[in-house]
Structure 1
């Protein structure tokens, strides 16, 4: 089973990478598969790669469901 999770882009870094955050955890991921990602965007991350951009309302709904299920800590949208 694979899990891809929504994360908010904090900063775009050199070399097609970016800093993302989910539940207070920050991680550098590859943004190479996406065009024109900007800080504040939500992306779906799987195994270190941002796969797609996600609508902010959809991202917040998904994160709320994850919190309800006990799968994520407090996440700032």
Structure 2
């Protein structure tokens, strides 16, 4: 398993050979490459895990929540505080 950021598919992008999707990542839309998972199909609402601009895993909402919790635990989340 690698460090990945969860996101939710907004839509597939036409004209890129079915390789790109627009994905909502923490409220911001990003173009990500889905070509590493040619056996998967993607539709709006699907949850994915992204690493370096590539979808590396299709997941569900619970998996996306777990990935975000891991990021927050490592101090990459929005709510992290530094104690003196």
TM-score (ref. length: structure 1)? 0.73
Larger radius of gyration: 2
- 1:36-73 deviation per Cα after TM superposition (whole angstroms, max 9, x unaligned): 11111111111111111012222123324545665234
Runs of 4+ in 1 over 3 A off after TM superposition: 64-70
Q: What is the total number of aligned residue pairs between the two structures?
A: 73
In structure 2, runs of 5+ residues without a counterpart are 80-84
Instruction: State the match for 2:10 in structure 1.
Output: 10
Alpha-carbon distance in structure 1 between the residues aligned to 2:8 and 2:75: 19
Superposition RMSD in Å: 2.2
* Alignment pair present for 1:22 and 2:35: no
TM-score (ref. length: structure 2)? 0.68
Q: Which of 38, 41, 55 is 1:36 aligned to?
A: 41
